[in-house]
Chains A and B, each alone.
Chain A
Amino acid sequence: MTNNNLFSVDQLTIKFGGLTAVDRVSFRVEPGSIFSIIGPNGAGKTTIFNCINGLYKPDAGSIIFKGEDIVGQKPHRIARKGIARTFQNIELFSRMTTMENLMLGRHIHMKTNVWTGATFFRRGSKAAQDEIKHRERVEKIIDLLDLQSARNQFVGGLPYGTQKLIELGRALALEPELLLLDEPSAGMNSEEKQDLVFWIKDIQDELGLTILLIEHDMKMVMDISDLILVINFGKPITEGKPEEVQRHPEVLKAYLGEDEVIDQSA
């Protein structure tokens, strides 16, 4: 059981004042699968991500990653354990180049400190070796995501779709075991979305990552998810395979509204 259990969330609850943003949500993610969380705006999807990351501290429940409860740990600790994420509203380092953004993703794997960093003057110095080694890794990610043209540009001025990809690349640079993607396709056109689906599948196959996905594009979710969890008002509605979820009456209600409501407005 434990070796098969990479990541699970149990009875996760968080309240903001009187509002219960996430209410007893539980799920388990199989290693190497793509698990999607869907639900209307404000359903608490991103809040779940923020709890996993350690940005929010949940009021109750546990989050088990590789057999350890990570609730209450600091975000940078959780990152070191192998969880990386992207953000719904891009959180790139806008006045750094693409290269530097991805290099920051290598932060936890690098060793350079203030002293070795300040005194790197030769090719053989520790900091230079560290840089060179990790640049090679980053170049691979740049190749994988076709980011060569953006390599040395400041990310702040790049197109939205490219920025989304760089965020994905930065998360990959961390070499996570669990990757959290918060609406990766938001703001992309249909061509970019197709590419993204391709890349996500590619990443999953090649790197063997487990992916937790929040997404509004239903076609994409149904295409790539192994399992889907639907939540509304912070409460889980149902969980299942894409075709099961699609037909679930509660899901239709949450997304399309109830019959009576539609009748009244018509």
Chain B
Amino acid sequence: MDMKRDYYEDIQLLNSKILWFWFIMLIASLATLPFLLPNYHIYMVNYMAINVIVTVGLNILVGYTGQISLGHAGFFAIGAYGTVLLMTNLHFPFLLALVCSALIAAFFGFILGLPALRLEGPYLAIATLGFGMAITQVIGRWQVFGGRMGLEAPDLSLGPFVIDTDRQLYFVIVTIAFLLILAARNMMKTRVGRAFIAIRDSDIAAETMGVNLTLYKTLAFAVSAFYAGVAGGLMAFLLGFINPSSFNFILSIYFLAFVIVGGLGSIFGSIMGAVVMTWLLLTLDKVQELPYLGAVLVSFSERWMNLAGLPNIASIIFGLIIILLVVFEPLGLYGFWIRTKIYWKTWPF
């Protein structure tokens, strides 16, 4: 490692030539990826990128600030419905609608952050759970939101570009995800992020050092909700169609699972968690298509459950993997990554 000459090099994202090289390689491979993958896989990568956005945002709240939210599907829904409605009813351009609905989600996040000033742990979990479920109920019953029938996403265009395939959508989603990840990293390295972490580690000390707890706790909720809002807005276009059941409270649990599987308080962990778990979820959905095992599971399901019980097998496997991961690697995939890195650095010892 070369000597550092000033303080900026200490906080720089890419502080060596090697890192610059990998950074450019990463961008290049992300840019060529959609031309190499078949359509379904592009859809899957888009799905992953959206979940990465939510997970990074949720990790800011849960992993960095030490709060909890079981209601993130609510913010996700606000983002999705907000974007679609602003575009169809008020004819906002896509990006403006996306930012506006994410800001609306952030505002709701701020509101939900207020009880967090008094509630902790399980109590806060229940309060946020209630919020998430209330949002689903409201959009399910209100005609503006299409009720149970849902809403169709409008045609998407960015300036002169019309975006109507998953491959085109890929560039929109991955670019936004990329920028939001960098933004999160920057935020966590500077004053606001430090205040979040300080609140997690010792709120009393943070307070006596001049951190306004009210402001920063609600801010953490707002930032986290903003991320979920953006992701929701993008999801509307990936699915092409949204209805209340796309945003049920199980989704909130999944988001939290992504964070924990990835590793609390790590942005890189969030990316790994979201990518791996999304892959798993989408793959387990088609469990009956697996060679041999699929047939066995189908006959097991027919013998012991009804055929509709088959999706449950996906849930069971999903749950089992979470339990095993948390038991054997409490730091999540990030912990696994750290250990691998240390192993290679110190190899062959």
Interface, chain A (partner B; CB < 8 A): 53, 55, 74-76, 78-80, 84-85, 87, 91-96, 100, 103-105, 107-108, 110-114, 116-121, 123, 127-128, 130-132, 135-136, 139, 170-171, 174
Number of cross-chain contacts by CB at 8 Å: 122
Q: How distant is the Cα of A243 from the Cα of B210 in the complex, in angstroms?
A: 37
Stretch at the interface among B2-10, B21-29, B82-90: B2-10
Q: How distant is the Cα of A139 from the Cα of B190 in the complex, in angstroms?
A: 17
Q: How distant is the Cα of A174 from the Cα of B211 in the complex, in angstroms?
A: 11
Min distance, Cβ B68 to any Cβ of chain A, angstroms: 17
Are B208 and A79 interface neighbours, CB within 8 A? yes
Given the contacts A87-B205, A91-B204, A174-B209, A130 and B191 also touching, CB distance less than 8 Å: yes
Q: Which 10 A-B residue pairings sit nearest by Cβ, starting from the closest?
A: A79-B210, A108-B210, A118-B183, A93-B201, A91-B205, A117-B190, A112-B191, A75-B207, A135-B7, A91-B202
Are A121 and B186 interface neighbours, CB within 8 A? yes
**A residues within 8 A CB of B213?**
76
Check if B100 is an interface residue, CB within 8 A of chain A.
no
**B residues within 8 A CB of A123?**
8
Check if B70 is an interface residue, CB within 8 A of chain A.
no
**A residues within 8 A CB of B10?**
135
Are A110 and B191 interface neighbours, CB within 8 A? yes
Are A170 and B8 interface neighbours, CB within 8 A? no
Are B198 and A75 interface neighbours, CB within 8 A? no
Min distance, Cβ B55 to any Cβ of chain A, angstroms: 17
Additional 14 contacts, C-beta under 8 A, given A107-B191, A108-B209, A170-B209: A55-B204, A76-B212, A84-B209, A91-B204, A92-B201, A92-B202, A96-B197, A104-B194, A105-B209, A107-B195, A113-B191, A123-B8, A130-B191, A136-B7
Size bracket, chain B contacts? 35 or more
Are B192 and A112 interface neighbours, CB within 8 A? yes
Q: How distant is the Cα of A120 from the Cα of B185 in the complex, in angstroms?
A: 10
Are A94 and B194 interface neighbours, CB within 8 A? no
Min distance, Cβ B211 to any Cβ of chain A, angstroms: 6
Are A76 and B197 interface neighbours, CB within 8 A? no
The one of A104, A117, A120, A171 that contacts B198, using a Cβ cutoff of 8 Å: A104
Min distance, Cβ B19 to any Cβ of chain A, angstroms: 14
Residue of A nearest to B182 (CB): A121
**A residues within 8 A CB of B193?**
117
Q: How distant is the Cα of A103 from the Cα of B195 in the complex, in angstroms?
A: 10
Q: How distant is the Cα of A76 from the Cα of B194 in the complex, in angstroms?
A: 15
Are A80 and B201 interface neighbours, CB within 8 A? no
Are B194 and A75 interface neighbours, CB within 8 A? no
Min distance, Cβ B71 to any Cβ of chain A, angstroms: 21
Most A C-beta atoms less than 10 A away, residue of B187, B192, B202, B210:
B210
Most B C-beta atoms less than 10 A away, residue of A87, A96, A120:
A120
Min distance, Cβ A153 to any Cβ of chain B, angstroms: 15
| CB proximity to A under 8 Å, residues B207-229 | 207-213, 219, 223
Given the contacts A100-B194, A117-B187, A132 and B202 also touching, CB distance less than 8 Å: no
Are A95 and B11 interface neighbours, CB within 8 A? no
**A residues within 8 A CB of B11?**
128, 131-132, 135
5 contacts between A and B (CB under 8 A): A76-B212, A84-B209, A95-B200, A96-B194, A114-B219
